[in-house]
């Protein structure tokens, strides 16, 4: 369903890089029209007209992008004129090739018929692209995004939505026309170019269609309805937490009527309550200003004294199994300690950042003698952390600033790729968002974002999480595997989850990971019964141990079971640990005898191995393997088991 056009009009800014990007997205296909051969009956003069139209279209694309980049209304108007000229040449050309209509008759040789049909499709497709370009120029000028505010003020979001809808429609029509292009009638040397252009057109359609249901959320996110400030958490997955990782660095991003700027990027010790030597605010004690009691699970035995949390803070706020709770906690601290309004929280780990460098290209940071690429980003950032390099957080801040700047100037054909990368980030839970405006959060859900536990509202669900409070970066070295055994007895479904961990950290680097002190837990349905937590007998390691006290309240409909594990690495120690959870839920199959379970992935993890074994009542066991690179759905059938990707969360309401 399209955006609600009844929203009240709001003023737009002059620099809406996402909006301008959306405009450019629809005209990204600068088709090599001059290279398209016509049917044999087409005269050379027609080819000349085609070349002129192509040149005007290409010129329009270049001037439109230049106009946006340089905030030049003159360039945007020139672009519109070029698109109009191209369109007029194409229309004239279409009239001149009408005598070729006979070339489509069944009796005409296939080669000639294919060339005539392809010529018509190319003309029609390019005409729609020209129209989209003219509408894009109109959007830039009337909205005030370039060249100053138009008479009567900039266009409101409703008018901008209408213009974007018109562009989307022209893009869709161009894509339908493209279906009539037969690449095989082209000379071999020209097929690859046109095939690539057609692929970009299809990608543009797909990308815009993906964003369209949530367009109102995107516009609000960009500050089209007023200034917005977002807290960006750079979570460290090498020091894993339920919410994705320890929060070592944050940024503030400000959006005001389309202009998105990175205003600040700073390490948490420069403003948060913490224990590090560089902390400007030591953790307060009970009764002191700023004190917030932490979850009791983190405050006492069996945790060693140095790992216990004495006061709650932003850096440790990712302890809950749902991002909505974690984000609300972080917002509370950020508003007070940074003295700024916060309209939403975005958490991103280094696994999400690396693919962005495929779009921006390498990021050079000469002040740190580093060049960051998609291939080396994770290893470089983690290596700086492992080496206790004092500049490692400064590197993250500098890289964040460069990446935001580069993304704001993406070429048009990069925007559809960006949509795909973001969708991959969402599926892998490497990118999480929370917006304070309920309507915006709901529409973000249409893009696949989910801030809640069990987003599909499944009757049976599972989330395994680990919270590393040992002060190490052990999770960079942890190998993890899951074996889930399911069996049915009468009206009961038995669950047995075995979590196998191996800490492969080098034992001679005490801060890298030889100690993995983690709170290992599962979040399961509230009506689950006979819940037990155990660990394999070991001469090396203590058994999993419940915290002395618990105060964390699980999300509605859920319960938590787990305890602390302590893995050390060194001489005579294997680094191997195994914990097992068992529980029962009601067996309530569908009419066809099938049942399913939603398995939610922990943010900050990558691609843990999974084996699922299923024993139906009175039948032989079956099994399958997969990975937990994203949320999964386990489907049980009378004689089979399957594990597949979880569908996108159901929209609220």
Model pLDDT for residues 185-207, shown as the tens digit of each residue: 666 766 676 777 777 777 777 77
Mean of pLDDT values over 356-378: 92
Which one of 166-180, 489-503, 637-651 scores highest in mean pLDDT?
489-503
Q: Does 629 fall in a domain?
A: yes
Query: Do residues 496 and 582 make contact, with C-beta atoms less than 8 angstroms apart?
Result: yes
Residue 488, beta-bridge partner list:
493
Query: Do residues 440 and 390 make contact, with C-beta atoms less than 8 angstroms apart?
Result: no
**What integer pLDDT is reported at residue 181 of this predicted model?**
80
Residue where a domain terminates, one of 193, 221, 249:
221
Residue 626, beta-bridge partner list:
610
pLDDT interval class at 444 (50, 70, 90): confident
Residue with tokens 């869709």: 172
Q: Are residues 518 and 548 in the same domain?
A: yes
Digit-coded pLDDT (tens) for 621-642? 999 999 999 999 999 999 999 9
Q: What is the mean pLDDT of the chain?
A: 83
Q: Which of 295, 299, 329 is closest to 314 using CA atoms?
A: 329
Alpha-carbon distance values, 627 to 243, 526, 601, 631, 634 (Å): 20, 26, 10, 10, 12
Q: Does 346 fall in a domain?
A: yes
pLDDT reading at 209 higher than 90: no
Q: What are the DSSP calls for 90-138, one per residue?
A: HHHHHHHTGGGGGGGSTTS-HHHHHHHHHHHHHHHHHHHHHHHHHHHHH
Q: Are residues 217 and 238 in the same domain?
A: no
Torsion angle (degrees, nearest 10) of CA 425, 319, 483, 641: -60
Mean of pLDDT values over 86-112: 66
Q: Does 455 fall in a domain?
A: no
Q: Is residue 11 within a helix (H) or strand (E), and if so which, with residue range?
A: none
Mean of pLDDT values over 261-265: 87
Tell which phi-psi region holds residue 388, choosing left (phi > 0), alpha (psi between -120 and 50) or beta: left
For residue 318, give the DSSP letter.
T
Which one of 98-112, 200-214, 303-317, 395-409 scores highest in mean pLDDT?
303-317
Residue 568, beta-bridge partner list:
515
Mean of pLDDT values over 146-152: 54
Q: Are residues 22 and 96 in the same domain?
A: yes
Q: Are residues 473 and 442 in the same domain?
A: no
Report how far residue 280's alpha carbon sits from residue 392's, in angstroms, rounded to the nearest whole number: 19
Q: Are residues 202 and 96 in the same domain?
A: yes
The domain that holds 319 is classified in CATH as 3.40.630
3-state secondary structure of 335: helix
Q: Are residues 261 and 148 in the same domain?
A: no
Q: Could you give phi then psi for residue 432, rounded to 5 degrees?
A: -130, 145
Report how far residue 352's alpha carbon sits from residue 234's, in angstroms, rounded to the nearest whole number: 10
Residue where a domain terminates, one of 394, 421, 446:
446
Digit-coded pLDDT (tens) for 16-71? 222 222 222 222 222 222 333 333 333 445 567 777 888 888 888 888 878 877 77
Q: Are residues 440 and 465 in the same domain?
A: no
Torsion angle (degrees, nearest 10) of CA 30, 33, 34, 40: 170
Report how far residue 376's alpha carbon sits from residue 358's, in angstroms, rounded to the nearest whole number: 11
pLDDT interval class at 365 (50, 70, 90): very high
pLDDT interval class at 562 (50, 70, 90): very high
**What integer pLDDT is reported at residue 24 of this predicted model?**
24
| Structural domain harbouring 123 | 17-221
Digit-coded pLDDT (tens) for 447-458? 788 899 999 999
Q: Are residues 155 and 47 in the same domain?
A: yes
CB atoms within 10 A of CB 483: 18
Q: Does 3 fall in a domain?
A: no
Residue where a domain terminates, one of 181, 206, 221:
221
Digit-coded pLDDT (tens) for 394-425? 888 888 888 877 776 666 567 677 878 888 99
Query: Do residues 582 and 494 make contact, with C-beta atoms less than 8 angstroms apart?
Result: yes
Digit-coded pLDDT (tens) for 321-339? 999 999 999 999 999 999 9
Q: Are residues 487 and 410 in the same domain?
A: no
pLDDT reading at 161 higher than 90: no
Q: Does 197 fall in a domain?
A: yes
3-state secondary structure of 315: coil
Q: Are residues 343 and 475 in the same domain?
A: no
What percent of the chain is predicted at pLDDT more than 70? Answer: 83
Q: Does 281 fall in a domain?
A: no
Report how far residue 253's alpha carbon sits from residue 221's, in angstroms, rounded to the nearest whole number: 11
Digit-coded pLDDT (tens) for 566-608? 999 888 899 999 999 999 999 999 999 999 999 999 999 999 9
Residue 599, beta-bridge partner list:
462, 632
**What integer pLDDT is reported at residue 104 of this predicted model?**
53
Task: Give the burial string for 98-120 (b: 16+ CB within 10 Å, else e).
Answer: eebeebeeeeeeeebbbbbbbbb
Q: Which of 164, 133, 111 is closest to 31 using CA atoms?
A: 133
pLDDT reading at 307 higher than 60: yes
What percent of the chain is predicted at pLDDT more than 90? Answer: 50
Whether the link from the prior residue into 302 is cis, omega within 30° of 0, is: yes
Q: Does 304 fall in a domain?
A: no
Q: Are residues 211 and 245 in the same domain?
A: no
Residue with tokens 């859920």: 558
pLDDT reading at 101 higher than 50: yes
**What integer pLDDT is reported at residue 35 of this predicted model?**
30
pLDDT interval class at 644 (50, 70, 90): very high
Beta strands in 422-505 (DSSP E): 431-435, 461-468, 478-489, 492-503
For residue 391, give the DSSP letter.
T
Mean of pLDDT values over 211-224: 78
pLDDT reading at 182 higher than 90: no
Pair type for strands 478-489 and 609-615: parallel
For the chain, give the longest Cα–Cα distance: 93
For residue 306, give the DSSP letter.
G
Helix axes 188-211, 412-427, angle to 10 degrees: 60
pLDDT interval class at 501 (50, 70, 90): very high
Tokens representing 35 are 């290279």
Range name among 3-17, 358-372, 380-394, 427-441 with the lowest pLDDT average: 3-17
Q: Does 6 fall in a domain?
A: no
Q: Is residue 644 within a helix (H) or strand (E), and if so which, with residue range?
A: strand 640-645
Pair type for strands 281-282 and 273-274: parallel
Q: Are residues 39 and 130 in the same domain?
A: yes
Q: Could you give phi then psi for residue 70, rounded to 5 degrees?
A: -100, 5
Can you give the three-state secondary structure of 535-597, one letter per residue? Answer: ECCCCCCCCCECCCCCCCCCCCCEEEEEEEEEEECCCCCCCEEEEEEEEEEECCCCCCCCEEE
**What integer pLDDT is reported at residue 27 of this predicted model?**
25
Residue with tokens 């393997």: 625
Q: Domains in the chain: how many in total?
A: 3
């Amino acid at each position: 369903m399209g955006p609600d056009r009844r929203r009240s009009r709001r003023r737009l800014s002059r620099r809406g890089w996402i909006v301008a990007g959306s405009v450019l997205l629809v005209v990204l296909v600068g088709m090599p029209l001059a290279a398209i051969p016509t049917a044999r009956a087409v005269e050379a003069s027609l080819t000349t007209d085609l070349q002129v139209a192509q040149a005007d279209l290409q010129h329009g694309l270049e001037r439109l992008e230049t106009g946006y980049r340089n905030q030049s209304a003159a360039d945007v108007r020139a672009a519109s004129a070029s698109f109009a000229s191209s369109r007029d040449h194409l229309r004239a050309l279409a009239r001149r090739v009408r005598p070729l209509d006979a070339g489509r008759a069944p009796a005409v040789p296939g080669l000639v018929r294919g060339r005539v049909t392809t010529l018509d499709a190319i003309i029609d497709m390019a005409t729609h692209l020209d129209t989209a370009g003219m509408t894009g120029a109109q959007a830039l000028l009337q909205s005030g995004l370039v060249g100053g505010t138009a008479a009567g003020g900039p266009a409101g979001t409703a008018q901008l939505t209408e213009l974007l809808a018109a562009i989307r429609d022209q893009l869709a029509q161009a894509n339908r026309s493209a279906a009539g292009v037969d690449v095989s009638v082209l000379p071999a040397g020209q097929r690859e170019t046109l095939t690539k252009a057609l692929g970009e057109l299809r990608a543009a359609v797909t990308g815009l269609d993906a964003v369209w249901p949530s367009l109102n959320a995107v516009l609000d996110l960009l500050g089209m309805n007023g200034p917005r400030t977002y807290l960006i958490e750079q979570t460290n997955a090498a020091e894993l937490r339920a919410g994705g990782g320890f929060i070592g660095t944050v940024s503030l991003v400000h959006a005001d009527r389309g202009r998105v700027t990175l205003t600040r990027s700073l390490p948490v010790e420069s403003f948060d309550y913490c224990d590090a030597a560089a902390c400007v605010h030591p953790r307060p004690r009970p009764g002191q200003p700023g004190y917030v009691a932490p979850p009791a699970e983190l405050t006492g035995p069996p945790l060693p004294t140095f790992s216990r949390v004495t006061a709650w803070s932003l850096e440790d706020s990712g302890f809950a199994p749902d991002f909505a709770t974690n984000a609300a906690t972080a917002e509370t601290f950020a508003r007070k300690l940074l003295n700024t309004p916060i309209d939403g929280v975005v958490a991103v780990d280094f696994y999400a950042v690396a693919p962005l460098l495929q779009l921006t290209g390498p990021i050079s940071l000469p002040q740190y003698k580093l060049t960051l690429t998609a291939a080396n980003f994770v290893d470089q950032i983690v290596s700086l952390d492992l080496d206790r390099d004092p500049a490692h957080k400064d590197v993250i801040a500098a890289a964040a600033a460069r990446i935001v700047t580069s993304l704001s100037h993406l070429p048009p054909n990069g925007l559809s790729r960006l949509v795909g990368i973001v969708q991959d980030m969402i599926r892998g839970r490497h990118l999480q968002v929370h917006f304070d405006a309920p309507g915006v959060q709901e529409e973000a859900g249409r893009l696949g974002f989910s801030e809640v536990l069990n987003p599909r509202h499944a009757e049976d669900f599972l989330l395994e999480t680990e919270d590393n409070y040992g002060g190490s970066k052990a999770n960079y070295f942890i190998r993890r595997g899951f074996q889930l055994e399911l069996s049915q007895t009468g009206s009961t479904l038995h669950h047995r989850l075995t979590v196998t961990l191996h800490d492969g950290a080098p034992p001679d680097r005490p801060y890298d990971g030889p100690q993995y002190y983690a709170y290992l837990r599962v979040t399961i349905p509230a009506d689950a019964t006979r819940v037990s937590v155990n660990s394999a007998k070991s001469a090396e390691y203590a058994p999993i141990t419940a915290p002395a006290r618990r105060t964390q309240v699980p999300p509605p409909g859920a319960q938590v079971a787990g305890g602390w594990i302590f893995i050390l690495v060194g001489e005579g120690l294997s680094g191997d640990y195994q914990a097992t959870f068992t529980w029962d839920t009601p067996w309530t199959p569908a009419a066809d005898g099938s049942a399913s379970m939603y398995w939610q992935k922990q943010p900050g993890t990558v691609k843990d191995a999974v084996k699922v074994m299923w024993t139906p009542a009175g039948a032989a066991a079956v099994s399958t393997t997969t990975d937990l690179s994203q949320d999964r759905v386990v489907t049980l059938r009378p004689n089979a088991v399957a594990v597949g990707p979880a569908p996108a969360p159901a929209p609220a309401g």
